[in-house]
Amino acid sequence: MTVSPDIQQRITQLREQLREAGYAYYVLDDPIMPDAVYDKLYRELQDLEQQHPELVTPDSPTQRVGDKPAEQFISVQHNIPLYSLENAFDEGELRKWEERWKRQTPDIAETGEFEYVCELKIDGSAIALTYKNGILTRGVTRGDGTTGEDITQNIRTIRSIPLKLSLENPPEQVEIRGEAFLPLDEFERINKERETQGEKLFANPRNAAAGTLRQLDPKIVDQRRLDFFAYTLYIPSDPNFHPQTQWESLEVLQQMGLRVNPNRKICANLGEVQAYFQDWETKRRELSYLTDGVVVKLNSIPLQQQLGFTQKFPRWAVALKYPAEEVPTVVQDITVNVGRTGAVTPMAIMNPVQVAGTTVQRATLHNQDRIAELDIRIGDTVIIRKAGEIIPEVVRVLEGMRPPGTQPYTMPQNCPECNSELVRPEGEAVIRCVNSSCPAILKGSVLHWASRDALDINGLGEKLVEQIVRTRLVRSVADLYGLRVEELTQLERVGRKSAEKLVAAIEGSKKQPYARVLYGLGIRYVGKVNAEVLTQAFPTIEQLQCASVDGLENVYGVGLEIAKSVWQWFKIEANQELVKRLQDEGLRFNQGVENKGEFAGSKVLEGKRFVITGTLPSLSRKEAERLIKDAGGKVTSSVSKNTDYLLAGEKAGSKLEKAEKLNVFILSEDGLRDMLE
Ligand code: IVH
């Protein structure tokens, strides 16, 4: 298809506008257009690119998230090795470091003509980016410093990393190093989501960032909003262009469109460095990301080159670390907590203490193995720390302070809630209660069912759930639908009005879509996104129930672990019964006619002729046909010059070729939905 210069120009213009808007939003944190305008421009570009796939370029803002998960990551050699930093934990060690570099360059030491740049040490994962002629071509993990893994697909999803440098005449090759990290609110959001899915929590944002970068599926990486600060610039193709100081490098990086941490400072001597370090020791608590220290670098790049590297570290830089806050306290009790998935977690209850700005009274002891390793006992004085300054944990026991007569702690054999025998599945460290009617599990299941992203039942809070489970008014999630106002008003502190409201809210939840219902069932690993994907692939619960592990795994985004978990869940008779009862109560277990006919009535496609070809991402051919017909369009089977649109999915063959020849407008499923909207 020939493309008119107008279209080409519009595409270029849209890309520029979107790039600028993205830069303002993600790098400067200072948006220049409302989200709705951005989305509109984005969709326009997406449509134009869909109609003219030959014009798609890898640096287009639409090309951030790849379609296919990687099978594995490939090891690659770094263009320039990534060194790590020597640590200094106090002033003495910092002075020793200065003495050492000064000894190597006595002339500089004598004249005193040097300065330091202090930067915050960001607690994330180092990555190396390569830009060729201004275009991002490669992103690699640090690995062992010489070889790392090629994670370009994942790096591309980080919005503060430009796909194209904003330089008029970019050098042939630019190497940029920096730290990929997870902002604290995003870290908390991810952990909350993992908790509801019964997945292991990330101990701190650093682990979460590293784990996310090594995810094979770029769609998952995209959902976890990683961010990036650039701190090192190399221009191997054009050394003369290279800035002469670290300070200038940071400014050039910023001009190139990268995010550079603003909290940097030039310091003339170690006294000023110490002042900066102390200043940030408290101020860092207000930042939206974690920093575990300050990196001190000699500013002059020629001086850096003169000093060079040891086996592992640059001689011209050092990391001055903040001590991890460790605080002693006394263990009052050790209890176990039974979660929604039946996992039994031991917790230490301690005299409340302040750690890293918050009051801590409980700390996880993880499992029996960890308890044995610590030999923690009630009455012990322990040191607690916030791992990555987020989740409190017991670091060690001060055995010398142990009072007489203490006993080693052992985990209970029976569930503290229902007394059934606990089991430790082979190969796992967790102990579980496997009694599906255990009140603790039931309580967790009801709370999850009622939660905002599931059935969103207002008024069904922790206290009330505890009451309805304890009084056995509710023995299964399905019992919620039989609750009567009279029964609820019998409970402590439940008035008639709130009971009526609650019954109405429970009734109202029957209108919630199938995906929310599926999520609400609390199947391990089936979070919001997976529930959405599964309900699209299996539009009725019967189809999902009958699906094999293979069939489930074939759904895009569903891995083997998820597939197995869903399959196993439906094999359990009690779960089949639960679904049946909920179905009888009128909950939605299919995509529903309402969904398919959501555009019925609008005749926006009046008189338009469509041909459908290939596999569409979420609609079956029949469903697409119905949508088109409902909106007044016609569907025919072969492409001719009278065809207005070819609705094309994957593996579209000869019809697509013919449509292109005849200049027929080619439409994706998203394009069709946009038209209908
Ligand atoms: S400079 C040769 N600057 O800290 C230069 N590193 O413990 C080495 N880091 O591997 C890196 N913030 O991942 C530098 N402003 C910063 C940094 C920083 C965080 C990380 C980096 C490095 C690790 C060393």
Q: For 228-287, what is each residue's pLDDT tens digit? A: 999 999 998 887 778 999 999 999 999 999 999 999 999 999 999 999 999 999 899 889
Cα–ligand 1 centroid distance for 317 (angstroms): 9
Q: Residue 638's pLDDT is what? A: 86
Average pLDDT estimate for 78-99: 94
Ranking 33-47, 82-96, 369-383, 617-631 by mean pLDDT, the lowest is 617-631
Average pLDDT estimate for 134-150: 95
Q: Residue 428's pLDDT is what? A: 82
Q: Which two tokens stand for residue 482?
A: 């039989």
Residues marked as catalytic: 121
Please report, for residues 133, 183, 319, 387, 598, the alpha-carbon distance to residue 189 in angstroms, rounded to integers and kept in the order given: 37, 10, 30, 17, 32
Task: List the residue whose alpha carbon is closest to atom 10 of ligand 1.
Answer: 84
What CA–CA distance (Å, rounded) separates 515 from 450?
14
Average pLDDT estimate for 301-308: 94
Between 579 and 72, the more confident residue is 579
Average pLDDT estimate for 418-426: 89
Average pLDDT estimate for 317-339: 91
Residue % of the chain over a pLDDT of 90: 65
Q: Residue 593's pLDDT is what? A: 46
The dihedral through the CA atoms of 357, 358, 361, 364 has a sign that is negative
Count CB-CB contacts under 10 A for residue 267. 19
Q: Which two tokens stand for residue 295?
A: 């990196």
Task: Name the band, by pLDDT with cuts 50, 70 and 90, for residue 666.
Answer: confident
Ranking 241-250, 617-626, 645-654 by mean pLDDT, the lowest is 617-626
Please report, for residues 94, 113, 382, the alpha-carbon distance to residue 303 in angstroms, rounded to integers and kept in the order given: 18, 11, 47
What CA–CA distance (Å, rounded) separates 446 from 440?
10
What CA–CA distance (Å, rounded) separates 43 from 253?
30
Q: Residue 390's pLDDT is what? A: 65
Q: What is the mean pLDDT of the chain?
A: 90
**592 dihedral zone (left: phi>0; alpha: psi -120 to 50; beta):** left
Q: Which of 500, 477, 511, 497 lies closest to 588 in space, CA to CA?
A: 511
Between 8 and 670, the more confident residue is 8
Task: Name the band, by pLDDT with cuts 50, 70 and 90, for residue 69.
Answer: confident
Q: What is the DSSP letter of 241?
A: G
Average pLDDT estimate for 349-356: 85
Task: Name the band, by pLDDT with cuts 50, 70 and 90, for residue 654.
Answer: confident
Between 53 and 674, the more confident residue is 53
Task: Name the band, by pLDDT with cuts 50, 70 and 90, for residue 358.
Answer: low
Pocket test residue of 84, 85, 320 for ligand 1, highest count of atoms within 8 A of CB: 85
Cα–ligand 1 centroid distance for 291 (angstroms): 11
- Grouping H, G, I as helix, E, B as strand and the rest as coil, residue 395 is strand
Average pLDDT estimate for 322-343: 89
Long-range contacts of 393-402 (CB under 8 A, 24+ apart): 393/363, 393/364, 393/366, 394/348, 394/363, 394/365, 395/326, 398/328, 399/375, 402/377
Average pLDDT estimate for 122-130: 96
Q: Residue 303's pLDDT is what? A: 95
Task: Name the band, by pLDDT with cuts 50, 70 and 90, for residue 596.
Answer: very low
What CA–CA distance (Å, rounded) separates 49 from 58?
12
Ranking 29-33, 303-307, 605-609 by mean pLDDT, the lowest is 605-609
Indicate which atom in ligand 1 lies nearest the CA of residue 87.
Answer: 7
pLDDT at 594 over 50: no
Residue % of the chain over a pLDDT of 70: 97
Q: Residue 595's pLDDT is what? A: 40
What CA–CA distance (Å, rounded) separates 346 from 371?
8
Pocket test residue of 231, 296, 297 for ligand 1, highest count of atoms within 8 A of CB: 231
Cα–ligand 1 centroid distance for 241 (angstroms): 23
Cα–ligand 1 centroid distance for 383 (angstroms): 29
Q: Residue 483's pLDDT is what? A: 96
Average pLDDT estimate for 165-186: 94
What CA–CA distance (Å, rounded) separates 64 from 158?
8
pLDDT at 572 over 70: yes
Q: Residue 300's pLDDT is what? A: 96
Indicate which atom in ligand 1 lies nearest the CA of residue 85.
Answer: 24
Q: Residue 101's pLDDT is what? A: 96
Task: Name the band, by pLDDT with cuts 50, 70 and 90, for residue 1.
Answer: low
pLDDT at 374 over 60: yes
What CA–CA distance (Å, rounded) separates 543 from 573?
17
Task: Name the band, by pLDDT with cuts 50, 70 and 90, for residue 389.
Answer: low
Q: Residue 600's pLDDT is what? A: 41
pLDDT at 195 over 80: no
What CA–CA distance (Å, rounded) separates 272 from 489?
67
Question: Which residues, judged by CB distance below 6 Å to any ligand atom, belong to the binding site of ligand 1?
Answer: 83-85, 119, 121-122, 126, 179, 231-232, 295, 314, 317, 319
Average pLDDT estimate for 573-592: 91
Q: Residue 599's pLDDT is what? A: 41
pLDDT tens profile 492-544: 989 999 999 999 999 999 999 999 999 999 998 898 888 988 998 999 999 99
Q: Which of 573, 579, 572, 519 lies closest to 543 in space, CA to CA?
A: 579
pLDDT at 356 over 70: no
Task: List the residue whose alpha carbon is closest to atom 17 of ligand 1.
Answer: 121
Task: Name the band, by pLDDT with cuts 50, 70 and 90, for residue 629.
Answer: confident
pLDDT at 616 over 90: no
Q: Residue 360's pLDDT is what? A: 84
pLDDT at 75 over 80: yes
CB 506 within 8 A of CB 482: no
Q: What is the CA radius of gyration of the chain?
A: 30
Q: Which residues in 182-288 belong to E strands, given as ranges? A: 227-234, 265-267
CB 232 within 8 A of CB 249: yes
Cα–ligand 1 centroid distance for 35 (angstroms): 34
Cα–ligand 1 centroid distance for 246 (angstroms): 13
pLDDT at 368 over 70: yes
What CA–CA distance (Å, rounded) separates 195 from 201?
7
Residue 594, judged by CB atoms within 10 A of its CB (0-12, 13-18, 19+), counts as: exposed
Q: Which of 139, 137, 142 lies closest to 124 in space, CA to CA?
A: 142
Task: Name the band, by pLDDT with cuts 50, 70 and 90, for residue 357.
Answer: low
Between 594 and 265, the more confident residue is 265
Question: How many CA atoms does the CB half-sphere of 114 hold within 13 Å?
Answer: 24
Indicate which atom in ligand 1 lies nearest the CA of residue 314.
Answer: 2
pLDDT at 387 over 70: no
Average pLDDT estimate for 568-594: 88
To the question of pTM greater than 0.85 for the whole model, the response is no
Task: List the residue whose alpha carbon is closest to atom 13 of ligand 1.
Answer: 126
Q: Which two tokens stand for residue 668?
A: 């994706």
What CA–CA distance (Å, rounded) separates 558 from 566?
10
Count CB-CB contacts under 10 A for residue 400. 6
Q: Which of 254, 73, 229 lies closest to 158 in space, CA to CA?
A: 229
Edge to edge, what strands does the sheet with 645-648 contain?
634-636, 609-613, 645-648, 665-667
Q: Who's near 318: CB < 8 A, 6+ residues apart? A: 85, 86, 87, 88, 94, 97, 295, 296
Do the strands 227-234 and 173-181 form a parallel or antiparallel pair, or are they unpaired?
Answer: antiparallel
Please report, for residues 343, 426, 581, the alpha-carbon distance to residue 571 in angstroms, rounded to integers and kept in the order given: 20, 20, 16
Task: List the residue whose alpha carbon is closest to atom 16 of ligand 1.
Answer: 121
Task: Name the band, by pLDDT with cuts 50, 70 and 90, for residue 125.
Answer: very high
Q: What are phi and psi of 178, to 5 degrees?
A: -175, -170
Q: Which two tokens stand for residue 169?
A: 């005449």
Between 389 and 529, the more confident residue is 529
3-state secondary structure 22-80: HHHHHHCCCCCCCHHHHHHHHHHHHHHHHHCHHHCCCCCHHHCCCCCCCCCCCEEECCC
Q: Which of 352, 29, 346 lies closest to 160 in space, CA to CA?
A: 29
